[in-house]
């Protein structure tokens, strides 16, 4: 993943949803031109990665045909790579992952952790790219029925450990594997807060962590029902807290404020280590 493994700070992953139905920005960037322009904007604002997705994973979302997913994402990936962006592909399909890497993507962000497509882990291992395995219990149309846990952190950690082990067994290199607890995916609002409060138990799995909290429903509930775009300040606050705790990356709909928050945390960490050398 080029320089991204040695950035020395939390990475900011900017979201480009090339979809009509994503919960926050569905339809805003559905055309290739609009999505490319959005990706360029996020890159200019300091995004380390641009995460391109062609299928919504919001609760209740329907699946799209694979050819439609490919049609949406491939031209966007190619143009953003040509513009100098490091691009990740947000997909659960091995076919889409393979075509996206051929177009220049260098990270596969799979919200199913390899469970939705049995070919995914082998394909990623063969491609030799980075891989994000998210905690997942089912597709968007059923995930809100799968929110029971005995202890959400222990259960998520155990299920993520299974995905970690499967990825490593498939041949994905440990230094290319990132885990994501899947905030909002088969989680109640309270469960999301519990996971955030106990991130060290997830970090104990031994892999870097990606946190995707941007604009999610549990923030809206905290803020008396604010709409997704009115949750950005709270999202930035969580980025600062996650960066302070050393997470590998945060996934967000906006970039500049998150990059600023990461810079502040990194500078304070430098001072604690003895200041500027």
The catalytic residue positions are 216, 251
**In three state form, how does the secondary structure of the chain look?**
CHHHHHCCCCEEEEEEECCCCCCCCCCCCCCHHHHHHHHHHHHHCCCCEEEEECCCCCCCCCCCCHHHHHHHHHHHHHHHHHCCCCEEEECCCHHHHHHHHHCCCCEEEECCCCCCCCCHHHHHHHHCCEEEEECCCCCCCCHHHCCCCCCHHHHHHHHHHHHHHHHHHHCCCHHHEEEECCCCCCCCHHHHHHHHHCHHHHHCCCCCEEECCCCCHHHHHHCCCCCHHHHHHHHHHHHHHHHHCCCCEEEECCCHHHHHHHHHHHHHHHHHCCCCC
């Amino acid at each position: 993943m080029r320089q991204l493994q040695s950035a020395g700070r939390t990475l900011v992953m900017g979201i480009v949803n090339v979809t009509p139905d994503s919960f926050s920005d569905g339809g805003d960037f559905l055309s290739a031109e609009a999505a490319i322009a959005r990706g360029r904007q996020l890159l200019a604002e300091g995004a380390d990665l641009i995460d391109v997705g062609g299928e919504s994973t919001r609760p209740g979302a329907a699946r799209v045909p694979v050819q439609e997913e490919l049609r949406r994402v491939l031209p966007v990936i190619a143009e953003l790579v040509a513009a100098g962006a490091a691009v990740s592909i947000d997909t659960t399909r091995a076919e889409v992952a393979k075509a996206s890497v051929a177009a220049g993507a260098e990270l596969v962000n799979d919200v199913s952790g390899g469970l939705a497509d049995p070919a995914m882990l082998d394909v990623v291992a063969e491609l030799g790219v980075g891989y994000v395995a998210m905690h997942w219990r089912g597709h968007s149309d059923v995930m809100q029925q799968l929110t029971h846990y005995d202890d959400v952190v222990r259960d998520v950690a155990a299920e993520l450990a299974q995905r970690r082990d499967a990825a490593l067994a498939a041949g994905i290199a440990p230094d290319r594997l990132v885990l994501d607890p899947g905030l909002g995916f088969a989680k109640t609002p309270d469960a999301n807060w519990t996971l955030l409060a106990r991130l060290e138990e997830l970090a104990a799995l031994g892999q870097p962590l990606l946190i995707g909290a941007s604009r999610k429903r549990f923030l809206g509930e905290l803020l008396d029902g604010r709409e997704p775009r009115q949750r950005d300040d709270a999202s930035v606050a969580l980025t600062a807290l996650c960066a302070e705790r050393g997470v590998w990356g945060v996934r967000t709909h906006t970039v500049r404020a998150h990059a600023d928050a990461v810079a502040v945390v990194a500078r304070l960490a430098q001072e604690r280590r003895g200041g500027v050398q």
